[in-house]
Amino acid sequence: MPVSDASVDQVLEAYRLRWQVELTFKRLKSIAQIGYVPKHDDQSSRAWLYGKLFVALLSQRLARVGKTISPWGYLLPQAPYAQPMA
């Protein structure tokens, strides 16, 4: 779609989406501490980054699931934003 054909609402929605992506990357960088990537060689840097991303995504998933589990052994009411684990 040419830029001139986009409505104001479409541009705002695209910007909102872009901002959500930016916030997600910022949160992942903070959780996984991936501000510095060791650059010994391409393969080790890639493996290091994949490992960090895996741990960050896993911890986010566990935190989401943990919100519905009580330390006393019973389930809490399901939060409306929580997604069931597949």
Long-range contacts (CB closer than 8 Å, 24 or more residues apart) made by 58-67: 59/31, 60/31, 61/85
pLDDT digits (tens, 9 = 90+) for 44-80: 888 888 888 888 888 888 877 777 776 766 666 665 5
| DSSP-assigned states of every residue in 18-51 | HHHHHHHHHHHHHHHT-SS---S-HHHHHHHHHH
Over range 31-42, report the average pLDDT: 76
Whether residue 71 lies inside any domain: the answer is no
pTM score, whole prediction: 0.50
Whether residue 37 lies inside any domain: the answer is yes
Q: Which domain holds residue 27?
A: 3-66
Number of domains within the chain: 1
Would you state the pLDDT for residue 65? 76
Would you state the pLDDT for residue 19? 92
Would you state the pLDDT for residue 83? 54
The pLDDT > 90 percentage for the chain reads 7
